[in-house]
Amino acid sequence: MEAAVPLSLAMILSVAIVVMVPLGINDGGSILEEVATKGLLAIGLTVVLVAGGIDLSIGSILGVTALSTLILDRVYGVPMLLVVVLAPVIGAAFGAINGFLIAKIKTRPFITTLVTLIAFRGVAKWLEETYSSRLVVPSTSDIWYFLGQGTIVGIPTPTALFIIILVIAHLSLTRSRWGWHLTSVGSDRRSARRNGINVERSVFSAYILSGALAGFAGLLASARFGRADSGVGLGFEIIVLTAVVLGGVSLSGGRGSVIRAAVGMFVVTIIQQATIVLRMDNGYFATLLAIVLLFFAVLDLKWGTYRERFAAKLSLDPGMTAVGPLIDVTVLDTLWTVNGRLTDAPPIGLGLIEGAEDCAIDDGGHLYCGDRRGWIWRFEGPDHAEGKVFARTGGLPLGHAWDLNGNLLVAVGGMGVQRILADGTTELVANQVKRSRFSLHDDSAIRFADDLDVAPDGSIYVSEFSSRTSAAEYMLEFVECRPNGRLIRINPDGSTEVVIKNYVSPNGVCTSHDGQSILVASTGLFRVDRLWISGPKKGQLEPVLEDLPGYPDNMNRASDGNYWMSFVAMRTPVSDLLMKYPAMRRRMTKELPVDEWFVPQLNVSCVLKFTDSGQVLKVLWDETLENYPMVTSINEHEGSLYLSGVQNNRLGRLELDPEDRGSIDTRRVPMTQQARTSFSEAEK
């Protein structure tokens, strides 16, 4: 993605040249020939740059091998096929000198290859002086002609060979262990070594490859011209370096692609051809090249330094939302009026728990809840006085649910969905979905699994609050309020599928009592929707609750056939007004520290009960905010309500009003006869 910036600039440059300069179709041939020879050098240089080094001696190696192949052929009469094999070997031998010095002796790549640049050029001079008189004999070999002027399926041989090598190099660099090791070494040598990569071997191999490719390019060059002198390849290193940097290969290592380097080579060759067509002095080309190289080197440096900041600036883009009317909960004697019915709920795990978003109770009455440190606590029933850490998830445990086999499913922010077995071990259920086809952003990971529930067929419905931010950055979603979330189904066979995409912060998920639909709460849009999963309306989404006075969070079934839901925050007039001002919210995120951002009123605890048809039956509050300043989930179990809060230091257990008691087992997946192999009994 980030290489797109220099590359697109390079493309614009070349298009501009093609438009401004009368380049004809005849120039295409010479451009292709040039690209084929120098392109091989560009591939080699890219590999070395990706490995974190630099190779300036490629031009000299090309010169030496070009001479050597001619000498082998004309002077010593070595069979031509052997010469074709020997050319890259000679190049590789020279490359090995570089590799040995840099990888083993650990000299600086720049100075080493600068020295070898001169040294190899000296070798070429010596060869020329020694053999020049004997090189004038014309060649009679067919292979020589084939390499220079022949074609493969209509494509000039050098170009065809270049394309083949390009494809192989690209695949090796991006798809092979060798390529990955090389990239790792280039981006961070120390980390690469600590991860067990043989850094010396990787670096050495890069120089060998670069030398071999330069050697092969030398063979092609001498075949093309039918002669060679010590001046062949002079100044190529700077042309190739410019091309590679134009192609977006980073000079600081670790980032780059040979395909893009080849495109850069095209651009440079077009510039070169343009100067030839315009009959400009060679000095112009060199100057132009220097300017381009300087510009792109600076761009590469600055881009490397600022790309993360730049990406961060682009990543948050608040949206404008038309919000519905706001119910005033402070008006006395209404259904919504603030009350203190949650205040006196006795605490569970006070001082032990740090932020349980949700909890689950097994049929032994033991309670399980998450913690911001990634733990799952278990509190012994029935009084829940004693607690211990039962499992460790490694992420932020959020929603809990029981699967058909009576195991605990936990949506873990940062980790996906995990299943916790009776012995406290965790196993991964899913952490990936198929990547969206036309999205720049890689949304294949389940980053922020928030809540989940199990459908009668055993598939798990998971809400992903946002596919862009992590669970630790939930406040960004409050500010951005864009459809970044989705609802994911994990089928019983483990495959995953996105069932609702582009949904604004989906949070609570609850299977309906009849098992035919899934309720999804949209936190950012203050609503609850129903997704039909069977029956005549299968696949359709329809609203259940709209324009709620708060930001809905988790939902769970109640024993009397209704549903419990909690609000993570309440809307305020200002938070509603700011929804109309995305530019202001963007400014807020840029100019103010996170602590100063305006958010909805999060310091409240509000719980409500609603029916399948979307009628709100009752609303419970802790108006003092002393004990339960936030309630993010409410679970009913055998006559008690369990209050969890992702910022609370406790859970609460509230005796249920007799009028609320029903006969439905809230733990059981609707319409199933769940195997009641108890969680706690399996442990014994």
Residues that bind another protein in the complex, under the rule CB under 8 A:
328-330, 338, 354-355, 475, 570, 572-575, 577-578, 580-581, 584, 587-588, 591-604, 625-627, 629-630, 647-650
CB of residue 568 to another protein, shortest distance in Å: 11
Among 458, 49, 478, which Cα is nearest to 242's?
49
Is 3:296 a contact under the CB 8 Å cutoff?
no
How far apart are CB 588 and another protein at their closest, in Å?
6
Closest separation between CB of residue 346 and another protein, Å? 15
Q: Closest CB to another protein among 38 and 571?
A: 571
CA distances to 78, 145, 190, 395 from 83, in Å: 7, 14, 40, 60
> Would you say 205 or 605 has its CB closer to another protein?
605
Of 611 and 649, the one with the shorter C-beta distance to another protein is 649
Q: In whole angstroms, how close is the CB of 384 to another protein at the nearest point?
A: 19
Nearer to another protein, 380 or 576 (CB): 576
Based on CB atoms, which residue is closest to another protein, 253 or 413?
A: 413
Least Cα distance to 278 among 11, 23, 15 occurs for 23
Which lies closer to another protein via its Cβ, residue 85 or residue 577?
Answer: 577
What the block records as the tokens of 683 is: 């442990």
Measure the CA dihedral 118/121/127/128, to 10°.
-130
661 near 654, Cβ under 8 Å? Answer: no
Structure tokens at 261: 């380097």
How far lies 677's CA from each of 182, 404, 681, 683, in Å? 51, 10, 7, 10
CB of 598 to another protein, least distance (A): 6
Q: How far apart are the two ends of the chain, measured CA to CA in Å?
A: 53
Q: What angle do CA 67, 68, 70 make, to 5 degrees?
A: 65
CB of 649 to another protein, least distance (A): 4
Considering beta carbons, is residue 222 or 505 the nearer one to another protein? Answer: 505
Residue placing its CB nearer to another protein in the complex, 81 or 577? 577
Sheet strands (E) in 73-196: 151-152, 155-156
Q: How far is the CB of 625 from another protein (least distance, A)?
A: 7
Residue 351 CA to residue 75 CA, distance in Å, equals 89
Shortest distance, CB of residue 574 to another protein, whole angstroms?
4
* Least distance CB 429 / another protein (angstroms): 30
Shorter beta-carbon distance to another protein: residue 596 or 659: 596
Interhelix angle 142-149/80-99, nearest 10 degrees: 60
Find out whether 366 and 680 touch, Cβ atoms under 8 Å. yes
Kindly tell me which of 8 and 624 has the beta carbon lying closer to another protein.
624
Task: Select 406 or 550, whichever has its Cβ closest to another protein.
Answer: 550
DSSP 29-80: HHHHHHHHHHHHHHHHHHHHHHTT----THHHHHHHHHHHHHIIIIIS---H
Question: Interhelix angle for 157-175 vs 177-187, to 10°?
Answer: 70
CB of 550 to another protein, least distance (A): 10
Query: Which residue type occupies 364?
Result: G
Task: Count the residues in the chain.
Answer: 684
Work out how close the CB of 306 gets to another protein at its nearest, in angstroms, rounded to a whole number. Answer: 14
Cα separation, 260 vs 7, whole angstroms: 7
